[in-house]
Amino acid sequence: MRLSGGRSATAVAAALCRTPPRVRCPGSAAFRPAGLRPVTRARCSSPHELQHTAVLGWHGNWSCTRRPLKVAAAAAAATAAAASNGGSSSSTGGGLWASLASLANALTNFFPMFVLGAAALGLAQPVAYDFFSPAAITPSLAITMLGMGLTLTFEDFKRVLTTPGRIFAGFALQYTIMPAAAYAVSRLAGLPLAFTIGLCIVGSCPGGTASNVVTYLAKADVTLSVAMTTASTLGAVVFTPLLTQALLGTLVPVDAMALLVSTLQVVLLPVVLGAAINSAFPKQVAALAPLSALSAVVLIALICGRVMAENAAAVLQAGPQLLTSVFALHACGFFFGYALSRALGIPERAARTNSIEVGMQNSALGAVLATAHFPAHPLAAVPCAISACMHSVMGSMLAAFWRRQPAGGDEGGSEA
């Protein structure tokens, strides 16, 4: 019988059963062309015949007279031996790097502990953060955003821009949930006027840059988070003054140019640069991904600890009433940001992104505005300082939970 290409079944069987010269495989000699018939794989009794069946789909009344040859095992052993002889040094290096990457991933999963520990250290021993200057916070955030940009591609930006409704939904939630929650919490808690001012200013501010980092660690949609942070920051030029006027009866102007420059320096430019590097060197960037996540954790912990150290005295004097109020404000943002997103039919991953973006505010901007426009109430900046640490701790804990939960099949986001 002839097969396609003019080769006989006997020749094909012999070719499939080649073994080392010292062991003669009986495949070709024992093969009986006269009795060929179709068979199923289950009727084959030796690895030789399985090999024939996999390729030919049939065989004759023949059998191998020697013990079955472990074809797959032999091939795997030969491949392993070749790899061992040809690249032992590279294998050792690869194994070491894989171990480091695994360790980095394991440490990243404990990032809420790092943030909590850093905050506690800043509160108990403020001098411990003297090495980390407040002037280093902005560059550190920019470096972190560069690391997140390395996980993105320009296709991610195209995808987000094709769904502007999600950006608008996040924008609307940002400037409705948080101002309303700030007003309600301050009234229900019966806060003094200075703390009420500070809490309402925090609620009227745009999303903070740290939300992008937490989104990255939560394995949510980083590109959407960056787009929302940019949109809410630019919108703050109009909405923050209007909201403070409505909540406090005082128009608080916002420096539009300073906000734009800060957003470009800390958010947009580093992320776009990271995406460009990822597009040019994808393999190298993929190998560094676990270290990017761990570096983000370390920098966020340092920033949180530094902020707490700067405001340790104010936090200790504030008392449980203010701490509970700030916690309640951000808890409302996280909860309603997610719940309302899901109610609007927004996919799971984007809903998680909205939750983080709404729950985490630009508290540093709030502190600047409170100090500049309410000099008669110096304690107005205290809720902003507490908020800067509170939302980082709460966001980190939420991200740690979501990091272990499947986000469904919707597109978007990069995983840390």
Res. 176: pLDDT tops 60:
yes
- pTM, full prediction: 0.67
Write the burial class of residue 218 (CB in 10 Å: 0-12 exposed, 13-18 middle, 19+ buried).
Answer: buried
Would the pLDDT of 70 be above 80?
A: no
Distance between terminal CA atoms of the chain? 58
140-158 residues labelled b (16+ CB within 10 A) or e (exposed) = bbbebbbbbbbbbbeebbe
Residue 57 and residue 38 in contact, taking contact as beta carbons nearer than 8 Å: yes
- Residue 309 to residue 294: CA distance in whole angstroms: 23
User: Strands 58-59, 37-38: parallel, antiparallel or unpaired by DSSP?
Assistant: antiparallel
d(CA 53, CA 112): 56
How high is the pLDDT of residue 167? Answer: 92
The mean pLDDT value for 30-35 works out to: 42
Largest CA distance in the chain: 106
Cα gap 54→76, rounded to integer Å: 18
- Average pLDDT of the segment spanning 40-63: 39
CA dist 200 and 191 (Å) reads 11
* pLDDT surpasses 90 at 104: no
306, pLDDT greater than 90? no
Upper half-sphere CA count for residue 190 (Cβ side, 13 Å): 1
Tell me the DSSP string of 327-367.
HHHHHHHHHHHHHHHHHTT--HHHHHHHHHHHHSB-HHHHH
pLDDT for res 408: 66
Average pLDDT estimate for 324-350: 95
Q: Which residue has the higher pLDDT, 411 or 104?
A: 104
223, 411 Cβ separation under 8 angstroms: no
pLDDT the model gives residue 64? 41
SS3 content of the chain, % helix, strand, coil (to 5): 75, 0, 20
Reference 387, options 302, 330, 321, 309; nearest CA is 330
Split at pLDDT 50, 70, 90, the class of 213 is confident
Q: What is the pLDDT of residues 345-358, one digit of tens each?
A: 999 999 999 999 99
Confidence of residue 188 (pLDDT cuts 50, 70, 90): very high
What is the per-residue pLDDT for 345?
93
**Is residue 14 over pLDDT 90?**
no
State pLDDT tens for residues 122-163. 889 999 999 988 888 888 888 888 887 888 888 888 888 888
- Answer whether residue 48 shows pLDDT above 70: no
Euclidean distance between CA atoms 211 and 230, whole angstroms: 12
pLDDT at residue 59 greater than cutoff 70: no
